[in-house]
Chain A
Amino acid sequence: MYGYLGIDVGSVSTNLVLTGEDGTIEQSIYLRTQGKPIEMVQQGLKQMQAALPGKVKVIGVGTTGSGRHLAGVITGADIIKNEITTHAIAASNVVPGVQTILEIGGQDSKIIILRNGVVADFAMNTVCAAGTGSFLDQQASRLNIKIEEFGSLAMQSSVPVRIAGRCAVFAESDMIHKQQMGYNVPDILAGLCEALVRNYLNNVGKGKEILQPVVFQGGVAANAGMKAAFERALGHPVHVPPYFDVMGALGAAMLAREATNRKTTGFRGFDVADRDFKAGGFACDGCPNVCEVVEILESGQVIARWGDRCGRWSNALDRNQKIS
């Protein structure tokens, strides 16, 4: 059996998906990145290999997410694609005719507008993290609630508390204040969901025409409270696809299928999981830009560099791996 591998290395989670030749998901893995993207990619590959029946041959690899270049270098990806495109591709394949994608991940949130199956417009959050998953994470741990229980607890609320959603810092102080006044936890959680949705729609979704069908994906889509809050705010149903948390990786796998059309893959095999990769870095002192150059080392040998503006370091490698 042949398959395509998609890897999405985000700020909070690292996801791997293996699809069959027809694009159906055979196996998906969701891991927390925990600030260790290289190790998580390796761990993910190990788990993937263990979970697969023996005879699967990977004939294409795609990477996406903010760590896409890193993952691409380690695995020898056939295509390295930005997360907006991969999310759009995955959603339009899973939910044909989708016109709006709401995606909330760990560090960023985005809205993608599709018309006639093609991306017509998109927006990402700017410098603000108030509408993202890491904020929910942080607040859940502050209330001593497992993030997995967040959604179901929020759903028990009858009267959501009004919480300022403009800014994560203000939201937090507002929440503490409401707690001290004696509101119960489900109402506060539901209020938090509503505040995030309000912030998302005013910030990321500003001026966008949100038409049905609406798909809600990304890690935060696991939160039933968020889904319900979106439905209340938009006034129509919001669809959460079955593999909502690995849609980026799924899109990358789909793109890998396109990219390896009549070509052999550059996939370096599952055993890269056991090799010794290290990321190093240094500040180049060649000019006042003081670029922070990142080096990826495999068994002590530099296999990729990036981060320099002038190309002094990235072009110095034999294999031209200059990225961004």
Chain B
Amino acid sequence: MSVTVGIPRALLYYYYYPQWKTFFDHLGVKTLVSRETTRGILEKGIKSIVDEACLPVKLAVGHVLDLYGRVDYIFLPRIVSTARREYICPKFLGFPDMVRNNIDNLPPLIDYDLDLYRKGSSLYNFFYTVGRQFTHNPARILTAYKASMESLHMHCRDMEAGWLPFEPGVNHNHEQRPHDGNIHDVTIAIIGHPYNIYDRYISMNMIKRLQDYGANVVTADHLPEHVFRREAEKLPKQLFWTMNQRMVGAAFYYFDRPEVDGLIHVASFGCGPDSMTGELIERFARKESRKPLLNLTIDEHTGEAGMVTRLEAFMDMVRWRRQLDDVAATYY
């Protein structure tokens, strides 16, 4: 009899899903991902969780509820830290408890700690504890762990080849992403948490919209880790949030790239770390770069007009400025 583990399509799903899935596959455990975000899922989440939580957390609760009744376990690792001397947002840390205390009759949660903050901590320990839930064979867990790391690397290398997460057509050969027919004239970097920018509902399909307006979209996930870490060192002091380091590093990198015409910073309303990095990026933009930067804050709006107006105006601005630069280049 095989069991099914539910994985909410939210938060760090967007980084680690390939790894998690491979791990469970090798243990003979079925996985089920919650359905794509809809208004219904978001509303369920909003109703069941404390008011102060940020939008992505509310949404994640909705995804947990979407798995309700369809799975034997829900995989909600308590992710404290994924890198030495760095932390993940504190809301992630408390997330399993928030869920447990607000929702009754949940299937059992798999919420072991993943904490790599201290020297000597290891990722394997986390996966070993999770694996023990399903098998007593340590060799099997080790094989599953190794395979899961391999699939995470594959995923990262696909991203570095220019694919977007979970885009149809990713072939895992790390081939350069093909152009979608027409080569776009502008390139826009979207800087934001993956769970905000890749979720088509709460981002109001921002990536697709920009592509429709004729832009190539690049994100922080297209960069290898060492690149954004190096770039983030331009800050006078290291940030202690891993994900925001990634965002700041990526923003600095794209500000320097000649092929990138503009940057869009996406924050969710009420996000503490984002309000900080948003400001850091904005200051950098003003001091060191001539590239346009747009700050977008997303929340529970369903009206798309605000988003559409800003994106359209931003694209107009980018194109207009480029034209001027082209003219200047021909005259001087």
Residues on A lying within 8 angstroms of B by beta carbon are 66, 81-85, 116-124, 126-127, 207, 209, 287-292, 309, 324
List B residues 292-324 near A (Cβ within 8 Å): 292-293, 295, 297, 299, 302, 304-306, 308-310, 312-313, 316-317, 320-321, 324
Return chain A residues, CB-CB under 8 Å to B297.
126
Known: A121-B292, A289-B201. A83 touches B309 (CB 8 A): yes
Residue of A119, A121, A289 touching B39 (CB-CB under 8 A): A289
Does B205 have its Cβ within 8 Å of any Cβ on chain A? yes
Residue of A82, A121, A207, A289 touching B38 (CB-CB under 8 A): A289
Q: Taking CB as reference atom, which chain B residue is nearest A123?
A: B295
Q: Main SS of the interface on chain B?
A: helix
Instruction: Report Cα–Cα, A209/B283, bound state, in Å.
Output: 12
Task: Determine whether the beta carbon of B299 is less than 8 Å from that of A127.
Answer: yes
Instruction: Report Cα–Cα, A127/B317, bound state, in Å.
Output: 23
CB distance from A113 to the nearest CB of B (A): 10
Return chain B residues, CB-CB under 8 Å to A287.
38
Q: Taking CB as reference atom, which chain B residue is nearest A209?
A: B286
Task: Determine whether the beta carbon of B205 is less than 8 Å from that of A82.
Answer: no
Task: Determine whether the beta carbon of A290 is less than 8 Å from that of B316.
Answer: no
Given contacts A85-B312, A124-B310, 10 further A-B contacts (CB under 8 A): A81-B312, A82-B312, A82-B313, A84-B313, A121-B317, A122-B317, A288-B38, A289-B201, A309-B205, A324-B308
Instruction: Report Cα–Cα, A85/B309, bound state, in Å.
Output: 10
Residues on B lying within 8 angstroms of A by beta carbon are 38-41, 201, 205, 269, 282-283, 286, 292-293, 295, 297, 299, 302, 304-306, 308-310, 312-313, 316-317, 320-321, 324
Residue of B41, B286, B312, B324 touching A118 (CB-CB under 8 A): B324
Task: Determine whether the beta carbon of A84 is less than 8 Å from that of B309.
Answer: yes
Q: Taking CB as reference atom, which chain A residue is nearest B41?
A: A288
Return chain B residues, CB-CB under 8 Å to A85.
312-313, 316-317
Q: Main SS of the interface on chain A?
A: loop
CB distance from A124 to the nearest CB of B (A): 7
CB distance from B25 to the nearest CB of A (A): 29
Identify which of A116, A117, A126, A288 gathers the most chain B CB atoms within 10 Å of its CB.
A288
Identify which of B205, B286, B299, B316 gathers the most chain A CB atoms within 10 Å of its CB.
B316
CB distance from A184 to the nearest CB of B (A): 39
Instruction: Report Cα–Cα, A276/B39, bound state, in Å.
Output: 34
Return chain A residues, CB-CB under 8 Å to B286.
207, 209
Return chain B residues, CB-CB under 8 Å to A127.
269, 299
Identify which of B40, B205, B309 gathers the most chain A CB atoms within 10 Å of its CB.
B309
Q: Taking CB as reference atom, which chain A residue is nearest B290?
A: A120
Task: Determine whether the beta carbon of B309 is less than 8 Å from that of A116.
Answer: no
Identify which of A82, A84, A209 gathers the most chain B CB atoms within 10 Å of its CB.
A82
Task: Determine whether the beta carbon of B292 is less than 8 Å from that of A120.
Answer: yes
Return chain B residues, CB-CB under 8 Å to A119.
313, 316-317, 320-321
Identify which of B41, B205, B310, B313 gathers the most chain A CB atoms within 10 Å of its CB.
B313
Instruction: Report Cα–Cα, A256/B14, bound state, in Å.
Output: 43
Task: Determine whether the beta carbon of B299 is less than 8 Å from that of A66.
Answer: no
